[in-house]
Structure 1
Amino acid sequence: MIIVAWNIRGVANKATIRTLKEIKSQHRPDITLIYEPKCSGNKATEVIKALGFNFSFLEEADGYVGGIWVLWDNPALTINILETHHQYVAMEVKDPSHSPWKLTTVYASPQEGIRKNLWENLKRLADATTDAWMVIGDFNEIAEE
């Protein structure tokens, strides 16, 4: 399984769309995760169509802040969204060659007080799963200063 995750900080420009198409063509990701797309609604639909993805789930940005896109092409890949939040999307991934597993993709708030809620939710999700579980994303955490 190949997963591409990118904090893109704005997806709706020709150069970024071209780069994403190149990544998609060269690496053939099963799942593409986009953080901070800085577009939503009809514009998001246009961009996803331009990128050539057949399936998508969007946790919309609040204006230009945040946002998480889950994109995929393979019709044999089933992604069931289990829970959404402005800082994460939790899902179950099923494909014919693997046992179902959980994926949680994160775009954490840069504000520490808001981010605390994310960690509480991730702990709750961890306690509730017995499947394999991957957590991936931009946690906006500084390991060391």
Structure 2
Amino acid sequence: MKIIAWNFRGLGNGRAVRSLLKMQKAEEPDILFLSETKLDCNRIKGLRWQLGLTNMMVKDCEGQSGGLAIFWRTGVNFHSRTTSRLYIDGDIVEEDGFIWRLTGFYGEPRTD
């Protein structure tokens, strides 16, 4: 299983989307986690079809910052546990029944 996590710093422009699609085509991940998308669910929904990763979960951005999205292929058995503005947490169930945990997160660049 191939997983890619990417801090995107905004998916709101054509160049960023083209870069994402190019990476998707080259790497063909089973799961793709994007942090700091700076988009809401409605604006990111169309990407799942372009990416070929039809399953998704999105945590909307707040204002002009944040935003998380996880996409996964058909056949990947992902079950969400919890989400917040900083993470998406879930379980992956393999074909043999083995269960492992996947947490995609974004840490704010603050030290306090």
Q: Same fold (TM over 0.5)?
A: yes
Q: Is the 8 A contact 2:66 2:85 kept in 1?
A: yes
Relative to its length, the structure with more helix (as a share) is 1
Q: Is the 8 A contact 1:76 1:95 kept in 2?
A: no
Provide the aligned C-alpha RMSD in A.
1.7
CA offsets 1:8-30 (integer angstroms, 9 cap, x no match): 11112211111111111111101
CA offsets 1:31-54 (integer angstroms, 9 cap, x no match): 101011111132122333443431
Residues 18-97 of structure 1 aligned to structure 2 (within 5 Å):
18-73=18-73, 75-96=74-95
Residue number in structure 2 paired with 1:11: 11
Runs of 4+ in structure 1 deviating by more than 4 angstroms, as ranges, are none
How many angstroms apart in 1 are the aligned matches of 2:108 and 2:97?
A: 32
- Relative contact order higher in (CA < 8 Å, ≥ 6 apart): 2
- In structure 2, the gaps of 5 or more residues are none
TM-score (norm 2): 0.87
Question: How many corresponding residue pairs?
Answer: 112
- In structure 1, the gaps of 5 or more residues are 114-145
- Paired letter, 2:71: L
Higher CA-based Rg: 1
- Paired letter, 2:64: Y
- Paired letter, 2:108: S
CA offsets 1:67-122 (integer angstroms, 9 cap, x no match): 1110112x211111101111111100123257210011111223344xxxxxxxxx
